Amino acid sequence: MNRSNFGRQSGFVLDVCRVHGVWFDAEELDGVLRWVVRGGEKRAEEREREEQRNAAMRARFRVEPRTSDLSSRSASEGSRDSDWLRHAFELLFER
């Protein structure tokens, strides 16, 4: 049996069994249903999609220095340039 936060952000930690399903403690089913009715599940799905978009953007703009770019510079100078650019993209695309 594993414990899992329902919807990753509901605050309801449920017992989950791969064979037997989900087990609710007292009041958990009512709480989860209220969370879903109030739009919690929709917000969780939107947040998940946004996290996936941000990860895709970070992966798309990940800049790795090429060896030909570093041949005319010292290794530390090329590393500083790459670190600055990576940091700029992290600031733009992460929350």
pLDDT digits (tens, 9 = 90+) for 52-72: 988 888 888 775 555 555 555
Q: In 1-95, which ranges are continuous DSSP H helix?
A: 28-37, 40-60, 67-70, 75-93
Question: How confident is the model at residue 25, as a pLDDT?
Answer: 87
- What value does the mean pLDDT take over residues 71-82? 53
Question: How confident is the model at residue 71, as a pLDDT?
Answer: 52
pLDDT digits (tens, 9 = 90+) for 16-46: 888 988 888 888 899 988 888 999 888 888 9
What confidence category does residue 94 fall into, taking pLDDT thresholds of 50, 70 and 90? low
> Which of 12 and 93 is assigned the larger pLDDT?
12
Whole-number Å distance between alpha carbons of 80 and 61: 17
Q: Is the pTM of this model over 0.85?
A: no
Whole-number Å distance between alpha carbons of 36 and 44: 10
